[in-house]
Structure 1
Amino acid sequence: RGGGRRGGAAPAEQPAEPEITGGRAARRKAAKAAAKAARQTGTAISNVIGELFITTGVLLLLFVVYQLWWTNVEARAHANGQANELQERWEESGGGEESEENRDPGVFSAGEGFAILYLPTLDVRVPVAESVDPGSVLDNGMVGHYTEEDGLPTAMPWDEEGNVGLAGHRNTHGEPFRYINNLEPGDPIVIETESTYYTYEMRSRLDSTSPSNTAVLDPIPEQGGFTDPGRYVTLTTCTPEFTSTYRLIVWGELAEERPRAEGMPDALVN
């Protein structure tokens, strides 16, 4: 018998698994790093955009707060101070021959206060200044008197006939005319000057009209229902609220003229 080992030939050795080359490993590692970097970049961009939106929102909120609240605080403080100064000046002068009643409308400079307007049912007390210029008058919380310089000359309270035209903000900057749409026929509208209280009674209202409708300030404001010469007052403001698209108009007619020396009229006492 042969001398070979029993059991047949020895099994062949299995080839070893091929190792991943260094190049493929490097590419996979680089791909993973790139994907991670892309995710981080996307996240960073999203964070920046989100922060920009938040910052913009905060700035808009601050602007709204400034417009709707802080302008009212500043303007009301200014207007109240101006009204107090007027009354102090009148007390010192005693309403003599050089009083406001002896001055023509054109004598007052733009922005100069000469009267105080009261709307008792609305709890409004606000100084009246010459001109309806926003910068020097209306934005400072005051009510403006339409003048020749504004292109719309109107009467003074002490004139024997005519229509006293007044303008005021409805929203922001003190908003003295915000609620004049709530005035009802018979409600008092009082103008105080150095020597006299002029008490008007609200007669009619025009809820909306074009800003170009200057006939509302006519000496005889027919749109207010008046047909004869008289002594009238017209309040104008913007409408709807927070817009300047149209104008809201309120008319009044003089009911009483009372010297300041005799004390306040009933409308301011009751």
Structure 2
Amino acid sequence: MSGYVELLPVAFEAVGRGAEAMRGRSPGSLTVKGDRDLVSELDFTIERELRAFLRHATPAIGFLGEEEGSTGSAELQWVLDPIDGTANFVRGIPLCAVSLGLVHRDDAVLGVIELPFLGSRYAAARGDGASLNGQSIKASTVEDLSEAIVAIGDYAVGPDASAKNRLRLALTARLAEKAQRVRMTGSAALDLAWLAEGRIDAALTLSNHAWDMAAGVAIAREAGASVVDRDGTSHDALSAMTIAAAPALSDTLLTLLAKADSQQASPGEIASGSY
């Protein structure tokens, strides 16, 4: 058992406060962050409230929030996405989460994810295993992609979205030919939590923002999933992508990703089916 597990009660309290706010308050006003990207007033409110709570409870630990950045130590840092899946949340779609991770020297070592509208709290600390509502969970042991349900992260928006989406579309096309099913939930935290539980067999996110990934990576790893970068090296905060899967599927998915990367189809080719 690691010393990180001693911080779980603090993380539970913080995430519980965020989840309660999501269940009890409206999104409030919406602000456009960029092309097809928005943030709700409640995102800011939760982040500010949890930043203050964690600063008081653990003053030696820094904090990084998606909306308002970093304060305190960067070596050991709480990392928060106050509402992961804001677009879902503001539309009343229950696939959204409060996601709080702890990162030590770029390595995710603790995570708590709560899905406020699904009654699920996932948690893990390095060396202590992963749990759902207090019960131990394990990742899938599926070995063949044809039997796997694979979640893929949202398509890109904002600057260079068209170029970024060529790889996403090419990978989706290859997965559609090989996997049992492909899913896009709109919440990276939920994808990684469901991977840890064994509901899905892989969660592929072709980006790596710490607030999206830290908690889920910690939980998925403790549940026995493989979590690597696009080149197969161990995943950390500096990785380019997050390729998380049942261990037996990891090499197959990395091969598919490499093939998709080398043969990216243009949007016109995807639309015409000529790729």
TM norm structure 2: 0.30
Q: Of the two structures, which has the highest relative contact order with CA contacts closer than 8 Å and spacing of 6 or more?
A: 2
The structure number with the bigger radius of gyration is: 1
TM-score by length of 1: 0.30
